[in-house]
Chains A and B, each alone.
Chain A
Amino acid sequence: GAVVSQHPSWVICKSGTSVKIECRSLDFQATTMFWYRQFPKQSLMLMATSNEGSKATYEQGVEKDKFLINHASLTLSTLTVTSAHPEDSSFYICSAKVGSSNQPQHFGDGTRLSIL
């Protein structure tokens, strides 16, 4: 149980393109999902917390107009990287949590984004 699916797993696109990444909880409902960014050989950095039916909460230094988050249902959150540039190239990972506090987050397998 607690499977999180992320799509696409890999995307290559030109500079200036907007890219949408989907995160789905397959066998549970998630009122809260999280989006992380990870550079090579580094840890996961939380970008934002996505709350179903309300606005996302962004971490300090993360541009909300650059990284648009939509959490329209209890099983789907999307991250759109708008007008992507090479410096946005990274590994983006989502997670979802079953229930409220003191439960582990379950992660998708990430999206490798490469901007040319």
Chain B
Amino acid sequence: GESVGLHLPTLSVQEGDNSIINCAYSNSASDYFIWYKQESGKGPQFIIDIRSNMDKRQGQRVTVLLNKTVKHLSLQIAATQPGDSAVYFCAENMGYGGATNKLIFGTGTLLAVQP
């Protein structure tokens, strides 16, 4: 039978350009959001986080924007470098009234940086 391949959304950018990776989250009650970078064969690496009482947070070369009205999160990477090539996941923290919180991951975006 025919096999169906799974394809990650891919963002291809030129080295030195800025990258914007978008994510839609599901739960309006989520109070904390994280962006992770995952290189092939490795676990996710923390990039930046933002709490729901903020709409923007900046790190080194990265900025996260949060729009709670439309449940949208974005990660901006300035001056993208070949080492930024990886899969990027957003994750929302779903709390349970003080019980153990858990993260729900988005589907991921493959960032491919062209030299």
Contact = CB atoms under 8 A, between A and B. Distances in A.
A93 B44 contact: yes
Contact of B105 (A44, A57, A106): A44
Interface residues of A, number: 26
A97 to B, nearest CB: 8
A46 B45 contact: no
A109 B42 contact: yes
Contacts of A6: 43
A107 interface: yes
Question: Size class of B's contact patch?
Answer: 20 to 34
B34 A104 contact: yes
B6 A101 contact: no
A108 B43 contact: yes
Contact of B102 (A46, A93, A107): A46
Given A93-B43, A107-B43, A101 B95 contact: yes
A107 B44 contact: yes
Contacts of B107: 42-43
Given A44-B89, A110-B41, A101 B101 contact: yes
A77 interface: no
Interface in A66-116: 93, 95, 101-102, 104-110, 112
Interface of B: 5-8, 31-32, 34, 36, 41-46, 49, 51, 89, 93, 95, 98, 100-108
6 contacts: A32-B100, A43-B108, A46-B103, A49-B102, A93-B44, A110-B41
Interface of A: 4, 6, 32, 34, 40-46, 49, 51, 57, 93, 95, 101-102, 104-110, 112
Given A43-B105, A104-B34, 7 more contacts: A34-B102, A49-B100, A102-B101, A105-B46, A108-B43, A110-B42, A112-B41
